[in-house]
Amino acid sequence: MADDTDSRWLKRRLFDENVKSFFSAWDLYLKFYTVFFTVNVAGIGLLVQHVPQDRRLIIVLTFIGQNILAGGTAYHLTGFGHAVDDRLRALATALSADAAKGEDLLPLEKSPLPEMVARYGAWANVVGHVLLSASWFATLFVSGPGRP
């Protein structure tokens, strides 16, 4: 009996920790993306306004590189979310089996994660990074105010 109780406790603990890790990862990423996006937009404006066209290349390449890395992070968040969702489905099935044995557990049929929303959000961010990279590239061809 003690083994069943320990096993059930471990399953619940793993379930809770997986949920926390999913939401923590997204919380950190969204905070990062908010600041990253703001710095990119401000940087584009400042670059066009204050840096001559012939001196922009290294700055542009740096920001494009950062967008590639951040886009990769968004892409990997889709895989992370999918893996956590799979683990939670397996744990939910195990917890439901425990509940079917007459245990005092609420039966679960699926993962509580908004996995499809997370996947959409991550892919939307990948597209956003591609568009930011294209905007940075375009600054190579735009002259600033009062410049030919």
Q: For every one of its 148 residues, what pLDDT tens digit does the chain have, with 9 covering 90 and above? A: 456 678 888 888 998 999 899 899 989 999 999 999 999 999 999 999 999 999 999 999 999 999 999 999 999 998 898 898 888 888 887 877 766 665 554 555 566 677 788 888 889 999 999 999 999 999 999 887 765 5
pLDDT (0 to 100) of residue 96: 74
Answer yes or no: is 148 within a domain. Answer: no
Answer yes or no: is 147 within a domain. Answer: no
| Phi and psi angles of residue 147, each rounded to the nearest 5 degrees, phi first | -115, 145
pLDDT (0 to 100) of residue 51: 93
- Domains in the chain: how many in total? 1
Quick one: which of 113, 124, 54, 51 has its CA closest to 84? Answer: 113
Answer yes or no: is 79 within a domain. Answer: yes
pLDDT (0 to 100) of residue 147: 59
pLDDT (0 to 100) of residue 2: 52
Environment class of residue 144 by beta-carbon count within 10 Å: exposed (0-12), middle (13-18) or buried (19+)? middle
Answer yes or no: is 133 within a domain. Answer: yes
Range(s) of the domain holding residue 49? 2-141
Answer yes or no: is 102 within a domain. Answer: yes
Answer yes or no: is 70 within a domain. Answer: yes
pTM: 0.77
pLDDT (0 to 100) of residue 129: 94
Answer yes or no: is 29 within a domain. Answer: yes
